[in-house]
Amino acid sequence: MATQTRRDVLLSTLNATDIGTLESIAAKMRQVQDELLAMEQPDLAARAGDAVDALARGDVVEFRRGRAFLQSKIGHLRF
C-alpha cells in the first residue's frame, strides 16, 4: 500500500473512534497501533497503546488527548 494511502487510512481509522462501543473503539486504536508498528513507528505505536490503556481506565480526556496527538503526528509523517 502506498504510504500516502496508509497515512490516510490511519487518519480515517482514528477519526472513526468518535463513535461506537468501547470495545470497537479500542479495536480501532489497536489496529492503528499494529499498522504503526508495521510502518516502523514504535514510538507512535506506544502512544496508541497508551490511548487504549486510558480508554480501559475510563480516562476519556487522556484518550482524546492521545488520539489528537496521533492524528497530528501521523498527518505530518514523512516517508
Report the number of distinct structural domains present in the chain: 1
CA distance 55 to 20: 13
For residue range 14-55, what is the model confidence (pLDDT) as tens digits? 999 999 999 999 999 999 999 999 999 999 999 999 999 999
**In the predicted model, is pLDDT for residue 78 greater than 90?**
no
Q: Kindly tell me the burial class for residue 5, based on how many C-beta atoms sit within 10 Å of its own C-beta (0-12, 13-18, 19 or more).
A: exposed
The CA distance from 6 to 53, in Å, is 24
Residue ranges making up the domain that contains 55: 3-75
Choose between 79 and 8: higher pLDDT: 8
pLDDT (mean) for 2-15: 87
Contact at 8 Å (CB) between 48 and 29? yes
